[in-house]
């Protein structure tokens, strides 16, 4: 089954530090990876596949307010930042037929690995914040979104991750 993405390139460009010059084809694998790797883990297989089916069928606009809010206010920002987490380490590298090539510009300098790691960590912190909000929303509205806690009973299912995703301070 092809992946129906919960976000678009424009969602990322408008709501993250990634700029408009980024090719949609370059972002697509990172969007897809982030959606499967993080969002499916957070919302579980049953709800994930339900939302996928709604997107493919073109019936997302017919969903209840709880589902609309889930997609627009919680899944999208979470997925946008997790896409940044996946994209940042590869942002200056392109893979060509003769191997990996680091892109440079006449007017700029490439950031150091430390700077890239810092940017990735900042994106991770933002993503984890939104993931926690997503989890709290799903727990609060689990009566309105019954697929969240549904189980199909086989071992290929991912049950929603309810552990705290966000840590914003020092633990003593």
| pLDDT band per the 50, 70, 90 thresholds, residue 108 | low
Higher pLDDT, 106 or 20: 20
Average pLDDT, the chain: 85
Res. 26: pLDDT tops 90: no
Q: Which residues of 62-90 are buried (b: 16+ CB within 10 A; e: fewer)?
A: ebeebbebbbeebbbbbbbbbbbbbbbee
Average pLDDT of the segment spanning 60-70: 95
Name the β-bridge partners of 94: 101
Q: Which of 17-31, 38-52, 99-113 is predicted with the least confidence, judged by mean pLDDT?
A: 99-113
Judge whether 42 and 70 are in contact, CB under 8 Å: no
Question: What is the three-class DSSP state of 161?
Answer: coil
What backbone phi and psi angles, to 5 degrees, belong to 82?
-70, -30
Average pLDDT of the segment spanning 73-81: 97
Reported pTM: 0.84
* Percent of all residues in the chain with a pLDDT value above 90, rounded to a whole number: 59
Average pLDDT of the segment spanning 129-141: 95
Q: Which of 37-51, 69-83, 95-109, 137-151 is predicted with the least confidence, judged by mean pLDDT?
A: 95-109
Average pLDDT of the segment spanning 145-172: 70
Of 81, 58, 63, nearest to 7 (Cα)?
81
According to the model, what pLDDT value does residue 99 have?
Answer: 60
Average pLDDT of the segment spanning 65-78: 97
Angle, nearest 10°, between helix axes 24-34 and 76-87?
110
Average pLDDT of the segment spanning 40-61: 94
């Amino acid at each position: 089954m092809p992946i129906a993405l919960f976000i678009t390139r424009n969602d990322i460009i408008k709501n993250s530090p990634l700029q408009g010059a980024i090719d949609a084809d370059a972002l697509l694998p990172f969007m897809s990876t982030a959606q499967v790797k993080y969002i499916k883990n957070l919302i579980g297989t049953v709800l994930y596949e339900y939302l996928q089916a709604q997107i493919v069928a073109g019936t997302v606009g017919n969903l209840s307010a709880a589902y609309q809010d889930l997609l627009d206010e919680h899944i999208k920002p979470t997925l946008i930042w997790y896409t940044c987490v996946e994209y940042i380490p590869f942002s200056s590298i392109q893979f060509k037929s003769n191997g990996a090539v680091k892109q440079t510009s006449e007017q700029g300098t490439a950031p150091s690995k430390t700077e890239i790691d810092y940017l990735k960590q900042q994106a991770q912190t933002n993503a984890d914040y939104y993931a926690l909000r997503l989890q709290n929303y799903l727990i609060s509205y689990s009566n309105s979104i019954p697929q969240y806690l549904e189980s199909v009973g086989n071992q290929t299912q991912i049950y929603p991750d309810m552990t705290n995703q966000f840590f914003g301070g020092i633990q003593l």
